[in-house]
Amino acid sequence: MSAISSTTTAPPRKKLSPRKRAQRIRIVQYAVLVLAVVLAALTIDGRQLQQVFFRPDLVVQTLGPELGTAFLNTIIYTAGAFILGLVLGTVLALMKLSQVGPYRWLATIYTEFFRGIPAIIVLLAFSLMGVAFPGFSFPFDPYGTVWVALGMVSAAYMSETIRAGIQAVPKGQIEAARSLGMSPGMSMQRIVLPQAFRIVTPPLTNELVLLTKDSSLVYVLGLFASGYELTKFGRNLANSFANITPLVVAGLCYLVITLPLTYLVRRMEAKQRKATR
């Protein structure tokens, strides 16, 4: 009886205030983090790790003029593919917005096809063009082959981005341009596209980052040493050293390219948010 009365008359269990709750959750998060760090420090053998992934003597051997060539080749493969993808992607975007049905269908089929298959297969297929069409070869081989293959794949992605950018330009802009006597083509070229590209610069820079990493697929092609890019170069060295250190160095080289780009994207996005606010 008294037990019952005590449970019924006892004040209800005090609920934490939302601020208190948030504070506790934060404390738990810090505790988990500290625990994880301590565990890692106790279990990981730093020397062993370094032996496998980052042997200093091999790092020194990796750094050399060949690494510079590979670094430069990665940039050349990427830049060429990006420029080609940008041009082709713009054409595809305009086709998708065309009044002529077949253009729209063709552009859609193209996009779906090249977005749907792995880039490595496209690259391999294009590397056999010389066999399929005897006497045919891409100019600046092997660069030409890579530019065309990766450029065609990235054009599929970029066309969607650019189309969205064009459609994000308000309709009033075209009306203003046309009311000044500009033709449809001139309105597109002088008024809409400059604004569209400003809108899509951040996502296109992201595409450039993806493309930089996709250029590593070049390793599947049989290349002369002068055509090696970072991944191929790193793999070859890693094989001859029987240690992965050169590939890790190559990976760090990618970061040298991609980190500034992603930083740039963040800056541009922040600037755009400020401008549109």
Partner 1 sequence: MTVSEVLDTGNREDEIQIYDLHKSFGDLEVLTGITTTIHRGEVVCVIGPSGSGKSTLLRCVNLLEQPTKGRIFILNEEITDPDADVDRLRTQMGMVFQSFNLFPHLTALQNCSIALVRVLKKDPEEARRIAQENLEKVGLGDRGHSYPAQMSGGQQQRVAIARALSMDPEMMLFDEPTSALDPELVGDVLSVMRDLADGGMTMMVVTHEMAFAREVADRVLFMDGGVIVEEGPPEEVIGNPKEERTRAFLSRVLDPTHVHAGEEDAQHASRHPGEAAPPPIPGSHHGSRLFG
| Chain positions contacting partner 1, by CB under 8 A | 170, 172-173, 175-183, 186, 190-191, 194-195, 198, 275
CB 172, min distance to partner 1, A: 4
Is there a contact between 211 and 82 (Cβ–Cβ < 8 Å)? yes
Q: Which is nearer to partner 1, 176 or 256 (CB)?
A: 176
Q: Which is nearer to partner 1, 37 or 270 (CB)?
A: 270
Q: Which is nearer to partner 1, 64 or 170 (CB)?
A: 170
Q: Which is nearer to partner 1, 142 or 203 (CB)?
A: 203
Q: Which is nearer to partner 1, 195 or 236 (CB)?
A: 195
CB 185, min distance to partner 1, A: 11
CB 182, min distance to partner 1, A: 6
CB 171, min distance to partner 1, A: 9
CB 99, min distance to partner 1, A: 14
Alpha-carbon torsion, ordered 151, 155, 158, 164, to 10 deg: 160
CB atoms within 10 A of CB 198: 14
